[in-house]
Structure 1
Amino acid sequence: MTLSRRTALQAALAGAAVTPALAAPKFAAGIEGQRKADLGNGTYINPIVAGDHADPTILKDGADYYMTFSSFQSYPGAVIWHSQDLVNWTPITAALHQPIGTVWAMDLIKHQGRFYIYIPVLQDQGTGTYVIHADDIRGAWSAPIDLKLPGCIDPGHVVGEDGRRYLFVNGGRRVRLTDDGLATDGALEENAWKPWQYPKDWVVEMFAPEGPKLFRRGEWFYLISAVGGTAGPPTSHMVTVARSRSVHGPWQDAPNNPIVRTKSASEPWWSRGHATVVEGPAGDWWMVYHGYENGFRTLGRQALLEPVEWTQDGWLRAKGGTLDRPLPKPRGGKPSKAGFALSDDFSSGKLGLQWAFHAPAPDEAKRLRFEGKSLVIKGKGKALPDSSPLTCACGDRSYEVTVELEITGEGHGGLALFYEERGHVGLGFSTTQMLTYGYGQEHGWMRQSMTTKNVHIRLTNRENVVTWHYSHDGGKTWTQHSWQMEVSGLHHNVFGGFVSLRPALFSAGSGEVRARNFTYRGLPA
């Protein structure tokens, strides 16, 4: 890349977030200073699960609630979270370990005592849909089973009034399942439901009818779906409702559609949509969906909770407004644990739920070994972009990460903020040089001769402004790197991919990197 093109790209990235960020909302500090939804006074502030937690699908199972999110190219994936009050959530397991493609909006359900996750994926040959199942939600989960549904995404499971099982998918289509839910039973049906059409002059991304989620209440089946596109303009996404007395239709649209939509770029949450509706602990009703935080698309689409109510004529009405202020917590739920520590001293001997490989090969886990209180990562690829870095999703506007690294062999490794192969920044070390990654490339002109075996690296991200420090004397003295980076443009509207900018450990080349004492803490506004 020429210097002029590089400068132009950097300028474009730096200017990508054109709307000023709102003042930081009040939130309770949780584990390691991470933002926490529960304010401790009977109210909560969104998000309920901060960071990259898109396309939430939620299951009520007695007093317990379980939720999972799109995991895209991160494996282990389909991490399942647990709560008993809908506000405080903690992860309990990863259900998907075998790479099958880029995982999009799933549906987590329970049928006749067995748990199922219906999983749409993007593969080289197009889209497909898989299913996994388990008798215990904590696992073990089965291997993925291909339902052979090319061209379909966003499956939504429902049992009809006829007792048969169905998957509704994007574009208004549906397919019947076998009784065990592990195969299709017939052809894909077109025009099974007609997505609601918004006014032509609305500013959205595209029509994109998707995300059907179905449930039955009384004599009605309700179908919650999204239109408008999940990114693009802040006013793109939305939540719509339709109902029918039969899964076979006809479906009628809610007179108050869309029941949720971002109407202005001045609102705190952008592109709100893709909802699942669930009954609360006290019998009231709630809706979980996702949205981008104003000015922080780098954090990905975050999980939001909004109260809803039933009108006298049997339709849903959203009650949360723009989610710009605290809301009363759901009544009747038992106190739940919230969040989990992202720091890792690697003493457990296994990969924690905070970690996931980006775009791994089927045998990627063989690159890792645990030795005492350290994680050894065998090198892969030639540089950060093709190294399948080990990423850690976080949800704070500002945070600090430190790690101790030992470099051996012919390669290099380090600490990065990684969106995808073309979008990342990072600091790496070989045994002879310090390498700098900025805006998607390693800048050879910034290489600095530096004999290194052991190095401490510190990354500080303050509202998308990144500062690097490194130490060669065990963290006693620190040197600030000369390049501070503005990263607000490293997000979906620049690169696609729907994900977030995540702290990452990487090891490239033919050597190894030994990591110790990975620490994370959220920073106050």
Structure 2
Amino acid sequence: MADTFVNPVLGGDRPDPAVIKVGDEYWMTYSSFETAPGLLLYRSTDLVNWTYVTAALPEPIGSTFAVDIAEHDGRFFIYIPFIPAPWSELEAPAIFVIHADSMEGPWSEPIDLGIRWAIDPGHVVGEDGKRYLFVNGIRRIGLTDDGLATVGELEKVYDGWRYPDDWITEAYALEGPKLFWHDDWLYLVSAVGGTAGPPTGHMVIVARSRSVHGPWENAPNNPIARTTDPAQAWWSRGHATIVRGPGGDGWWMLSHGYENGYRTLGRQILLEEVTWTDDGWPVGATDIGGELAAPAGASPQRSAEPFHDDFSTLLLGERWAFHAPSPGEAERLRLDDGLVVAARGSSPADTSPLAVIVDAHSYEVEVDVELLGGAAEGGILLYFNDRLFCGMGIDGERMLSYSGGHVTHWREPAPAVRRLQLRLRNEEHIVTGWYREPGGEWMRHAIRYETSGYHANTMGDLQSLRPALYAAGEGELRFRDFRCRPLG
């Protein structure tokens, strides 16, 4: 057993955690935005160590924002806000629901609840026995008994708690409602202050009521969690779920935040103990950097490990996800002496690359790339979004070098071959590349890149910097022996 743990408990880009306790287990998912498969489900028994189980949403119908997980009458529900994306048919933000007999699935196809221009659903059963969804704003709408349709219209029910105007935040942005009952009080946990922007912006606030219909009383100790100083280890803490601890002992809060100096990794999942005041208000921790007391009975915390994918099986969801895919994107893939990918688009910007989440300050990735036919181009990148990436690829005639989301003018003297092994090393934002023909000597790419600015506040896009494989143009490419290892 372990007495302590350190944040994050699930590293890398995993924003807006939604958590439910089912018996002695916890289940969690998070916003998957423009990736597919979406809504990756993780399981834990101690809140510290999480294991991937499945993807609840193989084919998102829009950009997938913050969800809520609910259990009712032995059935499980995930309420999902989808946002219009260039590849989707949605015309406005819309809330859907999927359901299953167990958290392992299989999960249903998304069902449209008819709710428009709302995000961040939070499910609760009122003292009247009826089901409700709360959304950003904070507004509320009724649900049918089966949870698969709405009753009535959205109505404003809570104005939020207002922080002092001289606090340095991004925007007020009342969002992320999560609700739970405790000692005959219904607690409403929300986020304000903006999810990116200044490090001191995002925060967790609480209100409570004796009834799902209000009135709501704000906690006198609001906010119950916030980054108060940019010198702290974790920035923009917010969007929280509060749950009972393992064995029913104590209370714990899971939220997200950026690591100080490593916004490139995205918003990572944070854990902190919740205490209660004598008059029944939850209190989070002041600073959640360094070693913290672990939940009772927690196993030793697992650390990031290297992995090797020989592409003998296709680990979509568990390992790989498409960025900004079109419907049926997985049809581009087949297994044949490696991973064969059909080319798409004209450059990394419009090719829907396959990316992996990383959680280390420094890491190295490597892959064998082979052009199989046609006027194709492909390689390895550190990819933020379609406007910002760096790395290198080959087209059979030359090496293409990318920086800042553009192909550079540099002509790297790499051999004009159709198969090359490529390596990228990111050492605390300094990115170095190498290449070689199979069995040859590694040659360092002449240009290094500095990527500390490849993050959400630079681009106005809540993504992260991820290793990715891309295949552009026409024809097919084969990728073999992908390796990723943390450094240090």
In the alignment, is residue 512 of structure 1 matched against residue 443 of structure 2? no
AA at the equivalent of 1:53? R
Within the candidate set 209, 233, 236, 1:244 is matched to 209
Separation of aligned partners in 2, 1:449 and 1:483: 13
How many residue pairs match? The answer is: 481
Separation of aligned partners in 2, 1:242 and 1:485: 46
Q: CA deviation at 1:321?
A: 2.5
Q: CA deviation at 1:426?
A: 1.5
Structure 2 residue matching 1:493: 3-state secondary structure: helix
What residue is the counterpart of 1:323 in the other structure?
288
Which segments of structure 1 move beyond 4 Å, counting only runs of 4 or more?
Answer: 333-342
Change (3 A) 1:519 1:66: same
Separation of aligned partners in 2, 1:350 and 1:445: 35
Within the candidate set 166, 169, 173, 1:204 is matched to 169
Contact 2:195 2:236 in 1 (8 A): yes
Structure 1 residue matching 2:286: 3-state secondary structure: coil
In the alignment, is residue 345 of structure 1 matched against residue 306 of structure 2? no
Within the candidate set 282, 292, 303, 2:258 is matched to 292
Separation of aligned partners in 1, 2:479 and 2:103: 32
Residue pairs, 1:359-378, within 5 angstroms: 359-372=324-337, 374-378=338-342
AA at the equivalent of 1:486? E
Change (3 A) 1:380 1:184: same
Q: CA deviation at 1:444?
A: 4.2
Q: CA deviation at 1:422?
A: 0.5
Separation of aligned partners in 2, 1:499 and 1:68: 16
What residue is the counterpart of 1:399 in the other structure?
363
What residue is the counterpart of 1:155 in the other structure?
121
Q: CA deviation at 1:338?
A: 7.2
Q: CA deviation at 1:181?
A: 0.8
Residue pairs, 1:263-278, within 5 angstroms: 263-278=228-243
Task: State the identity %.
Answer: 51
What residue is the counterpart of 1:308 in the other structure?
274
Contact 1:98 1:143 in 2 (8 A): no
TM-score relative to the length of structure 1: 0.89
Change (3 A) 1:341 1:103: farther
Structure 2 residue matching 1:246: 3-state secondary structure: coil
Question: 1:28-81: CA deviations, max 9, x gaps?
Answer: xxxxxxxxxxxx742100000111011011110011000001001010010001
Contact 1:194 1:251 in 2 (8 A): no
Question: Mind listing any 5+ residue stretches in structure 2 that lack a counterpart?
Answer: 86-90
Contact 1:88 1:339 in 2 (8 A): no
Change (3 A) 1:188 1:322: same
What residue is the counterpart of 1:20 in the other structure?
none
Structure 1 residue matching 2:173: 3-state secondary structure: coil
TM-score relative to the length of structure 2: 0.96
What residue is the counterpart of 1:114 in the other structure?
75
Question: 1:364-405: CA deviations, max 9, x gaps?
Answer: 111000114x11011000011100000101111100111111
What residue is the counterpart of 2:377 in the other structure?
412
Within the candidate set 65, 78, 82, 2:39 is matched to 78
Structure 2 residue matching 1:49: 3-state secondary structure: coil
What residue is the counterpart of 1:167 in the other structure?
133
Change (3 A) 1:463 1:335: closer
Structure 2 residue matching 1:236: 3-state secondary structure: coil
Separation of aligned partners in 1, 2:367 and 2:200: 39
Q: CA deviation at 1:126?
A: 2.7
Separation of aligned partners in 1, 2:389 and 2:328: 24
Within the candidate set 134, 137, 155, 2:100 is matched to 134
AA at the equivalent of 1:398? S
Separation of aligned partners in 1, 2:139 and 2:413: 57
Separation of aligned partners in 1, 2:31 and 2:309: 24
Change (3 A) 1:43 1:120: same
Contact 2:305 2:485 in 1 (8 A): no
Separation of aligned partners in 2, 1:344 and 1:298: 24
Separation of aligned partners in 2, 1:460 and 1:110: 43
Q: CA deviation at 1:311?
A: 1.5
What residue is the counterpart of 2:403 in the other structure?
438
Question: 1:320-348: CA deviations, max 9, x gaps?
Answer: 32112201110145679777765311112
Q: CA deviation at 1:237?
A: 0.3
Separation of aligned partners in 2, 1:464 and 1:408: 33
Residue pairs, 1:47-66, within 5 angstroms: 47-66=8-27
Within the candidate set 422, 443, 447, 1:483 is matched to 447
Separation of aligned partners in 1, 2:316 and 2:56: 14
What residue is the counterpart of 1:37 in the other structure?
none
Contact 1:239 1:275 in 2 (8 A): yes
Contact 2:37 2:316 in 1 (8 A): no
Contact 1:157 1:168 in 2 (8 A): yes
Question: 1:189-234: CA deviations, max 9, x gaps?
Answer: 12x1221111111110000000000001121000000000000001
Change (3 A) 1:177 1:336: farther
Change (3 A) 1:338 1:397: closer
Question: 1:412-452: CA deviations, max 9, x gaps?
Answer: 00000111010111100011111011101112453657321
Separation of aligned partners in 2, 1:90 and 1:349: 18
Question: Mind listing any 5+ residue stretches in structure 1 that lack a counterpart?
Answer: 1-39
Q: CA deviation at 1:99?
A: 2.5
Q: CA deviation at 1:148?
A: 1.6
